[in-house]
Amino acid sequence: MIGHRSKSFQDLYADLQPKLQALFYTQGPVFFSTSSAWGVMEAAVRNLTNRKVLCCANGAFSDKWYDVALRSGKDAERLTFPWGTPIDPEAVRQKLSTGEFDALTVIHNETSTGLMNPLSEIAAVMREFPEVSFIVDTVSSFSALRIPFDELGIDVMLASTQKALALPPGAALFAVSARALAKAETVPGRGYYFDFIEFQRNHEKNMTPSTPAIGHLYALRQKLAEIAAEGIEKRYARHRENAEIVRSWVKERGFALFPKEGFASLSLTCASNTRKIDVAQWIQILRSRFQCVIDGGYGKLKGQTFRISHMGDETPETVRQLLERLDECLAELG
């Protein structure tokens, strides 16, 4: 192990920075947090809400972000859409036009419903409201497709390590715009551990505010090397191909995609259990026979849906193998 105030650490941090900036498509800093995504999700609200935060909610994670904003002592409002239905950019425009809000939270890829929200369209609306901080969770989509931070005018974009990066859990990455850093200085109650200004100050010395999970940085270095070796465009194409294979299988087997047409996620597929099979039993057979895992539906969607991940290191080959095994287990359900 190396010390987190050592030259070796600074070299490691500095080595990762340009590679992370390339993945975030930003000229600005990318910070490393020793926390899961929720640490940074809470931090973003605490660092960037002076007046009131509008939380777009159309799934389990985005519903909860509103609650986290309230628990952080912020004035917050939820803009709700039914699960499986995308955020309507026009509804966002109408809400922000009231002038009540100075921050907006959006979950790009709602992992609970397998839905990808229309980020470019929302970003276009956000350009009309430069005083409103644009906070985006890309936890389960980061590195699965191009999400250009600078070009979209995002203020905070965050991802944890254990989803599309396919690394162990326990760390998160986040980019913060210069505009957001300047605003954070004016927001009281930022605390210490997640104070964006502390991150920026330490970043200037290639360090983090407190002792980071250095082991994760080594893992990240290895993952970034793997991403570079594959080629980023190939990585994106692989995720698209994985998604197409799973979506076709879902339809061919007589199930349906849960999200509204055109908004299915690239990194995981949430299927409606239109055949009314015993999802729990199916998953149990899969697990015991093949030690493979799919999910039996998140929260209130348990049993009515199932979710298949095809992000991170999954390939068309591993995805096809999983689907064959799912078929074999499905045949036994009777």
Ligand X SMILES: *Cc1c(COP(=O)(O)O)cnc(C)c1O
Which segments are annotated as binding site?
A: 307
Which string of x and - marks every residue 21-60 that binds ligand X (by CB under 6 A)?
---------------xxx----------------------
Cβ neighbours, 10 Å, residue 26: 19
Nearer residue to ligand X within complex by CB, 36 or 281: 36
User: Amino acid identity, residue 101?
Assistant: F
Helix, coil or strand: residue 137: strand
- The single residue among 69, 107, 116, 250 that binds ligand X, judged by CB under 6 A, is 107
Contact window for ligand X (CB under 6 A) among 106-114, 125-133, 304-312, 320-328 = 106-114
Helix, coil or strand: residue 33: strand
- Count of residues that bind ligand X according to CB under 6 A: 12
User: Binding site membership for substrate: which residues?
Assistant: 307
Nearer residue to ligand X within complex by CB, 49 or 140: 140
Nearer residue to ligand X within complex by CB, 9 or 297: 297
Smallest distance from ligand X to CB 83, Å: 13
- The single residue among 137, 155, 195, 198 that binds ligand X, judged by CB under 6 A, is 137
What φ, ψ does residue 195 adopt, rounded to 5°? Answer: -70, 115
Total length of the chain: 334
Q: Which of 312, 330, 307, 315 is nearest to 247 (CA)?
A: 307
User: Amino acid identity, residue 169?
Assistant: P
Beta strands 30-33 and 172-176 are antiparallel
Residue that has been written with the tokens 């986290």 in this structure: 68
Q: Establish if 111 lies at the interface with ligand X (CB under 6 A).
A: yes
Which string of x and - marks every residue 57-76 that binds ligand X (by CB under 6 A)?
----x---------------
What span, in angstroms and rounded, lies between the C-alpha atoms of 261 and 280? 26
- The single residue among 58, 133, 143, 160 that binds ligand X, judged by CB under 6 A, is 160
Nearer residue to ligand X within complex by CB, 9 or 174: 174
Angle at 105 between CA 212 and CA 243, to 5 degrees: 80
User: Amino acid identity, residue 39?
Assistant: G
Smallest distance from ligand X to CB 65, Å: 8
Contact window for ligand X (CB under 6 A) among 137-145, 205-213, 246-254, 288-296 = 137-145
What span, in angstroms and rounded, lies between the C-alpha atoms of 36 and 27? 24
Question: Which stretches of the chain bind ligand X, using CB under 6 A?
Answer: 36-38, 61, 107, 109, 111, 137, 139-140, 160, 163
